[in-house]
Amino acid sequence: MPNGWKLTKLKNIGKCVPGLTYSPSDVVDDGQGVLVLRSSNIKNGKISFEDNVYVNVKIEQDKRVRANDILICVRNGSKSLIGKSALISDERAIGQAHGAFMTIFRSEHSQYIYQLFQTSMFERQVQADLGATINSINSKNLLDYKFPFPPLPEQNKIAQILSTWDKAITTTEQLLANSQQQKKALMQQLLTGKKRLLDKNGVRFSGEWKSYELGDWIREYNEKSVSSDQHEVLTSSRGGLVKQSEYFADSRISQRDNIGFNVIPPDYITYRSRSDDGQFFFNRNELSFTGIISTYYPVFHFPEGDSTFFLNYLNRSS
């Protein structure tokens, strides 16, 4: 270890703030209570506000989220999510709460420690606590994790450099989001015939478009699960089809009896007929395996058509 660096346990430089336990009756409409930050509110190391839960409960001031707190997932149905974290820098998160499956690590050295939490040093210590069957780490274990700490001026410099890279990544992600919006506009032109493309000979397509009923191409798929957990249970989210165990964290648990769920093979689509954010659209199973999904979400396929074309067409105004 370099001269002046020390191997230090987290408990010597900070503390854990346990998360909030609440009941379904405490949940209120968006914006009517306190936001509870959960694992689904962490995306790429930053706080995301795409899947919010609000509650009407009394929260002690010391347990409210502060700027530069580190939000950590310490319990989840999916082991891969244990240990994922985000540094609280967005003002919308400050003063809010965090769920019981989360913890806050609070320290004066949080800028540097957050970067440590993105390393294999942290991951190895998390994995050592998880073992074969445990899907959680407790605060006592977390506070015993050891990391090398340089003198404070060097800590600050390291954190500053890595934070600059984080900002560059965020800028790239914003450029990607802008490109997605541009694609949406292009879809609207291409899928309505307002913009015609060139064929392989460089001649613009000019043939007349024909009108069809959707039923001429789409077919409903009615296979049902015949045993509990026959396939992975999926959720139709804004971001696509995902494992339900990863999407619903904290107080929400996958339904145990899933016999009779709709089976959805890869490349088949489902309609998001129920939504917690007011958005209704089609999602395609782009996972590498067959899943099952609630019967609230009908499953379809296109035996004689291009599913990518139809998916874009159906969602062009979403």
Domain boundaries, the chain: 6-155, 214-314
Better-predicted residue by pLDDT, 57 or 275: 57
- For the segment 279-293, the average pLDDT, to the nearest whole number, is 88
**pTM reported for the whole predicted model:** 0.59
CB-side neighbour CA atoms (13 Å) of 159:
20
What are the tens digits of pLDDT across the range 208-237? Answer: 887 877 788 889 999 999 998 899 999 888
Better-predicted residue by pLDDT, 250 or 6: 6
What are the tens digits of pLDDT across the range 173-201? Answer: 888 878 878 877 787 777 777 888 888 88
- For the segment 281-294, the average pLDDT, to the nearest whole number, is 91
Amino acid making up residue 161: I
Better-predicted residue by pLDDT, 144 or 176: 144
Domain 6-155 belongs to what architecture? Alpha-Beta Complex (3.90)
3-state secondary structure 117-158: CCCHHHHHHHHHHHCCCCCECCHHHHHCCEEEECCHHHHHHH
Look at residue 26 and tell me whether its pLDDT is greater than 60.
yes
